[in-house]
């Protein structure tokens, strides 16, 4: 496995593979790899001839009070995992190489970023869009893989890629969960034992709504209430939002509405000082 | 010469040239081609194996009160000119194909767009950056050519291309002028005979400052005053700005400052209802 730290060498390899007609798959990550990332990598490995993984904790997508400094960076462990999964190239980007002091450009997507996590994390999606544009244009993959756990991110990135004509297909990979249902996240590492138990309320709330949906409930207010009762019943959790949205436009349905087609139920909550998100498809 | 109206066919050709290792040059235009554009095309023709020209009047870069609707669109004449210059592919983009109804993405560059034309044309450079990103990612050229007449645009685009890692080199081509010195612009077509004469004050003002500079004058206030006197002496012209700026950062020098290195003197003025710009290098 190639381990590359600078953009020029990365480009050289990416270009060589492109020129020789290899199908290139790309998995952008912030490292601290878990089974969710590995599912992305394995899917890329199955579907592509060359697999590039990037590890870059992107400062642009963290707000002032957020966890940029303490975000886990277990590089040697990540590297071993990539090696084991048969990754061809691991790109470990450096902040100075991404953002020189006179860096001034922003890529932003309107509307899709103004709901769900958007209002709670000002600037977050601009940071995501800007770095993903850079990563895609540095690696020039045929296919890039994103997790459904960060559903809004995936929808925003897909729109951005289409709008800017970035020649790459975006594929979504299902969320990987612990045996009890908790969605895997690098941020789960922040949770104490008690918090870990409390964190399960997100999934329990979503599951409750999903059961009602399966039983025929289509009233948005009823579905949301069922989830809210679970999360608000957990004293260690502080809900940020619990919204049922259109899968493409992310427009939140109002409580008075009746679902006519598929929808995504997305939630965010703090457990202690750790912010967690999760979502489920209602279809 | 290939004349292509849709993005898929454009990409097919661009990709084929890329794959076969041809050096591809690209000249993005809004049409109404004049000798300034032809200078860009001829430079591309000399330096590259394949030359792509685009003609697209980009609605995003026009403000509400601006001349989008009346901007000249003499397509058949432009097409003949491209043919005559040996252009390989003329891409005539369509608005619906650039901006579907759910288009929501913007590329923007801070600071460089907050001076000179920026404050007078809100949203203009966002529109330029967004469409240039799209055009570059649709055509994937090795080199793209921009005119020095739109100096701020060229500097903004060059920074954006570097910041977003768009794999393309930006080359600047000198301004082409009428025999009396007026910078060629598609908007000159709007000028009446009287206005055409009045329009020359931009170049006369810049030339006056340039002469002083050549004679050793380095005081910003003196250089600006010399230019201002000429432009403000023309009753048909209404000055918008006349700023001496750093060639890279576009930071305007204050009147009290003394030039230590090269600088660009840039002016904008209305002549009748027509907005004109020009600039000159002080070096």
Residue pLDDT, tens place only, A11-28: 999 999 988 999 999 999
Residue-level pLDDT at B207: 98
Q: Among candidates B208, B207, B191, which has minimal Cα distance to B199?
A: B191
pLDDT category at B282 given cuts 50, 70, 90 is: very high
Q: What Å distances lie between residue B49 and A212, A274, B27, B43, B99, CA to CA?
A: 63, 56, 14, 12, 30
Distance between CA atoms of A152 and B270, rounded to whole angstroms?
46
Task: Give the largest CA-CA distance in chain A.
Answer: 57
| Interface predicted TM-score (ipTM) of this complex, two decimals | 0.96
Q: Share the mean pLDDT of chain A.
A: 97
Beta carbons of B106 and A107 less than 8 Å apart = yes
pLDDT in tens, A80-125: 999 999 999 999 999 999 999 999 999 999 999 999 999 999 999 9
**What are the structure tokens assigned to B72, written together?**
């000249």
Residue A151: pLDDT above 90? yes
Verify whether the Cβ–Cβ distance B105 to A164 is below 8 Å: yes
Q: Residue B112 — very low, low, confident or very high, per pLDDT cuts 50/70/90?
A: very high
Contact B106 A103 (CB under 8 A): no
Answer yes or no: do B134 and A110 touch at CB < 8 A.
no
pTM beyond 0.80: the answer is: yes
Give the number of C-alpha atoms closer than 13 A to the C-alpha of residue A101, restricted to the C-beta side.
1
In this predicted structure, what is the pLDDT of residue A124? 98
Strands (E), chain A: 2-4, 24-29, 50-55, 89-92, 105-109, 143-147, 169-173, 237-245, 263-271, 274-282
CA distance A120 to A114: 9
The helix/strand/coil state of A198 is helix
Q: Which CATH number fits domain A186-282: 3.30.1300.10, 3.30.830.10, 3.30.1550.10, 2.30.40.10?
A: 3.30.1300.10
pLDDT digits 0-9 by tens, A40-50: 999 999 999 99
Give pLDDT, residue A19: 87
Could you tell me the residue ranges of all domains in chain A? 2-173, 186-282
In A, minimum Cα distance to B136 occurs at A165
Task: State chain B's mean pLDDT as an integer.
Answer: 97
**B186-278 CATH fold:** 3.30.1300
The answer to whether residue B137 neighbours chain A at the CB level (below 8 Å) is yes
Q: Per-residue confidence at B75, pLDDT binned at 50, 70, 90?
A: very high
In tens, the pLDDT along B121-156 reads 999 999 999 999 999 999 999 999 999 999 999 999
Q: Which fold has domain B2-173?
A: Rossmann fold (3.40.50)
At A162, is the secondary structure helix, strand, or coil?
helix
Asked if A37 is an active-site residue, the reply is yes
pLDDT in tens, B10-45: 999 999 998 899 999 999 999 999 999 999 999 999
pLDDT over 90 at A138, yes or no? yes
Give me A177's structure tokens. 């969960």
Q: For the residues A184-192, what does the mean pLDDT come to?
A: 97
How would residue B263 be classed by pLDDT, with cut points 50, 70 and 90? very high
**Residue B257 predicted with pLDDT over 90:** yes
Task: Please determine, for residue B247, whether its predicted confidence score (pLDDT) is greater than 90.
Answer: yes
Work out the minimum CA distance from B186 to partner chain A, whole angstroms. Answer: 27
B129 contact A CB<8A? yes
């Amino acid at each position: 496995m190639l381990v590359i730290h600078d953009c020029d060498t990365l480009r050289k390899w990416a270009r060589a593979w492109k020129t020789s007609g290899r199908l290139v798959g790309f998995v952008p990550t912030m490292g601290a790899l878990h089974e969710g990332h590995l599912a992305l990598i394995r899917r890329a490995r199955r579907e592509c001839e060359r697999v590039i993984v990037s590890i870059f904790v992107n400062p642009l997508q963290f707000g002032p009070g957020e966890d940029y400094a303490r975000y886990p960076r277990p590089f040697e462990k990540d590297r071993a995992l990539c090696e084991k999964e048969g990754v061809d190239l691991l790109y470990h980007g450096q902040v100075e190489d991404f953002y020189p002091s006179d860096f001034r450009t922003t890529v932003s997507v309107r509307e899709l970023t103004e709901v769900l996590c958007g209002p709670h994390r000002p600037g977050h999606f601009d940071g995501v869009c800007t770095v993903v544009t850079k990563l895609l244009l540095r690696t020039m993959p045929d296919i890039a893989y994103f997790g459904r756990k960060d559903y809004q991110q995936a929808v925003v990135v897909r729109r951005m890629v289409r709008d800017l004509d970035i020649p790459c297909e975006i594929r979504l990979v299902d969320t990987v969960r612990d045996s009890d249902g908790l969605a895997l996240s690098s941020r789960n590492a922040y949770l104490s034992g008690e918090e870990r138990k409390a964190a399960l309320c997100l999934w329990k709330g979503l599951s409750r709504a999903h059961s009602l949906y399966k039983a025929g409930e289509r009233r948005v207010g009823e579905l949301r209430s069922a989830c809210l009762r679970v999360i608000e019943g957990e004293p260690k959790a502080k809900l940020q939002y619990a919204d049922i949205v259109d899968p493409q436009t992310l427009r939140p349905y109002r409580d008075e509405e009746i679902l006519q087609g598929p929808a995504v139920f997305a939630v965010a909550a703090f457990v202690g000082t750790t912010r967690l998100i999760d979502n489920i498809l209602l279809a």
